[in-house]
Amino acid sequence: MDYMEAMASRRSRYALTKTLPLPLADAEALIRRAAELTPDAFNMRSARAVIVSGEKQDALWDGIYTVFGGKVPREKIDGFRAACGTVLYFIDTDVVRTMQERVPRYAENFPVWAQQAGGMLQYSVWTALSAAGIGANLQHYNPVIDDMVRMFCGTPPSWQLTAQMPFGGTAAPAAVKEGETVSDRVWTLC
Ligand SMILES: Cc1cc2nc3c(=O)[nH]c(=O)nc-3n(C[C@H](O)[C@H](O)[C@H](O)COP(=O)(O)O)c2cc1C
């Protein structure tokens, strides 16, 4: 699959299963490789990820349901719980602070760049998984779940949770997406 095809194959897929089309270890290797290949400002490498799977996957989503105290529908959480795993994304704020001290001229930019690089990582992983036939979607239950996730994963206090990406086998096609006139958003000047 070439890169454009891989991008076209990536969609938000919510009907996910625990059965991947390849071994979980291979999917984890794809995620690690995507992290190696994704750029960051000043090459600061502020993005972090934790891949949760197996019994931990079920426990994670049960924990998220509990933190919300029933305010999120059980069926919705169960949809994410049914996935094979979840990639939790973080920014290491210690890295950002160190860069701010080292390059004070750009101090205000580093937190923004860290968010942008985190988004790039999320997209890289999402697309790489899709190219391998693995479905995924992107969730944002942070910051409500931050403390629970920190205790669950044992991540340092400096790791700020930014997104959750359930991934798994695909049980249903993605929803039909409305077309657009992309030239409204992408101009050409020559
Ligand atoms: C930055 C960002 C945040 C998103 N947050 C959520 C989210 O919290 N929950 C969710 O279900 N989808 C979320 N999405 C998925 C978008 O709704 C989805 O990508 C968009 O509607 C286009 O559909 P597609 O992914 O199928 O191409 C997010 C996507 C992006 C890029």
Q: Is the CB of 142 under 6 A from ligand 1?
A: no
Domain that includes residue 7, residue range:
3-184
Cα of 177 vs centre of ligand 1, distance in Å, is 12
Domain count within the chain: 1
Cα of first residue to Cα of last residue in the chain, in angstroms, is 32
Q: Taking the CB of residue 65, how many other CB atoms lie within 10 A of it?
A: 20
Domain assignment present for residue 189? The answer is: no
For residues 10 and 12, what is the distance between their CA atoms, to the nearest angstrom? 7
We report the CATH number of the domain holding residue 76 as: 3.40.109.10
Residue 190 inside a domain? The answer is: no
Is 100 among the domain residues?
Answer: yes
Q: Which long-range contacts (CB under 8 A, 24 or more apart) does 77-82 make?
A: 79/14, 79/15, 79/16, 80/16, 80/137, 80/139, 80/164, 80/166, 81/57, 82/16, 82/17, 82/18, 82/168
CA 48 to chain centroid, in Å, comes to 10
Rounded CA separation 69/56 (Å):
20
Residue 43 identity (one-letter amino acid): N
From first to last of its 190 residues, the chain has per-residue pLDDT tens of 799 999 999 999 999 999 999 999 999 999 999 999 999 999 999 999 999 999 999 999 999 999 999 999 999 999 999 999 999 999 999 999 999 999 999 999 999 999 999 999 999 999 999 999 999 999 999 999 999 999 999 999 999 999 999 999 999 999 999 999 999 999 999 9
Indicate whether 47 belongs to any domain: yes
pLDDT at 1: 75
102 is a domain residue: yes
Ligand 1 pocket test target in 77, 138, 144 with most atoms within 8 Å of CB:
138
| 8 A C-beta contact, residue 168 and residue 153 | no
> Which ligand 1 atom minimizes the distance to the CA of 13?
26
Residue 33 covered by a domain = yes
Q: Report helix, strand or coil for 160.
A: strand
